[in-house]
Amino acid sequence: MYQAEYLLLAVSILLFLSIIASKASGKLGVPALLLFLILGMLAGSDGIGGIHFNNPHLTQLLGTIALTFILFSGGLDTEWQSIRNVIGCGLLLSTAGVLLTAALLGCAAHYLLHFSWLEGLLLGAIVGSTDAAAVFAVFRARSIKTSKKLKHLIEFESASNDPMAAVLTIGLLRLLTLPHTSLLSLLGLFLMQMILGTLLGLMCGYILPWIINRINLEHGGLYPVFTIAGALFTYSITSLLGGNGFLAAYLAGLVMGNQDYSYKTDLVRFHDGLTWLVQIGMFLILGLLVFPSHLLQVVAKDVAIAAFLILIARPLSVLALTSLSQLQFKEKLLVSWVGLRGGVAIILATFPIVAGLPKAEIIFNLVFFIVLTSMLFQGTSIPWVVKYLKLDKN
């Protein structure tokens, strides 16, 4: 009889605790998103909350919705003038960088974990991209100040590389579940995803503000509802037509954010608040989904893989792809260190579970451990690294 009330009470308490955790994160020097994950783990089956949650299908759905809003809001809040000088380097890192990182980590997984080559590449693809929500949260919550060009490069890369990781993950899953799939068909899938994602994202980004300026709604409160519908429509129609919905959502927000339309300031502020809500919800649910006792069973191998990604695969990828850029060596080091992994990787790690892959649970636990390690060590040390490299700007 009281199940709904207990559920709402639990949700409200977790939200209150998350807000307090976000306030405390600055003083503790710990990324707020890491605290959200820990709260979810404490509330789960292995924690003091005892909430049993083991539904990867629902997690994948909710995570997809959350990522759509996060990427749309990230684009909405990005000024074109701020990224135009870094777009070439950013796109290189967000495409070839993800591919190279995935390949390097795939090799490590093959030799260290005895994964097949395809299973190793799948693990690499899942954690190949940096997480926009984690990077944005750390930079803005910790008030990290570097040169505008460097900051814009870091934020643009993190916001634009999720589509590449998603495409690689889906492609490799297809190879693992349908072994007769040809590489040529995967190349066609990649091109279709990127081309349709770009075209439909740009199109929706122009159409949404055009409608807002002409629809003349009687109630101002309906405009945020309209943009919510617009973000979800952009993602879903693009995905249904064979494009990459995450790329489309980001580009729609980017194009829309650089145009003039009614209630613009209010809508940007609304989506900033919505982003925080879905981030909290997403990381709490991801924390509930994991069983900490399972993580401890293979901690030595987890540490080895996480260390390889953070200390070798990511830096080598960045240094190789920025070798011809005008970035200073210490700026390249910072870009490589700010490669935070977050909710995107954990959500992509639910794909092998949904697909019924034999090593899906091992991959999920590995990915979760990598995310925790990345946030704990990279996320907390970013302000110190910026100062050590003398890249801080006051």
Q: What is the pLDDT along the chain (394 residues), one digit of tens a residue?
A: 457 777 788 788 888 888 887 777 666 666 777 778 788 877 776 667 677 777 888 888 888 898 899 889 888 877 777 777 888 888 899 889 999 999 999 999 999 988 999 999 999 999 988 877 677 767 666 566 787 788 888 888 887 788 788 888 988 898 888 877 777 777 887 888 889 999 999 999 999 999 999 988 888 889 999 999 999 999 999 999 988 888 899 899 989 999 998 889 899 999 988 988 888 888 888 777 777 766 666 677 788 899 999 999 999 999 999 988 888 999 999 999 988 888 788 888 888 988 888 888 889 888 888 888 888 888 888 888 888 888 877 5
- Distances, alpha carbon 290 to alpha carbons 64, 211, 353, in Å: 18, 42, 13
| Burial class for 358, CB neighbours closer than 10 Å (0-12, 13-18, 19+) | exposed
Confidence (pTM): 0.84
Residue 51 — φ and ψ, nearest 5°? -80, 120
Enumerate domains of the chain plus CATH numbers.
Answer: 17-388 (1.20.1530.20)
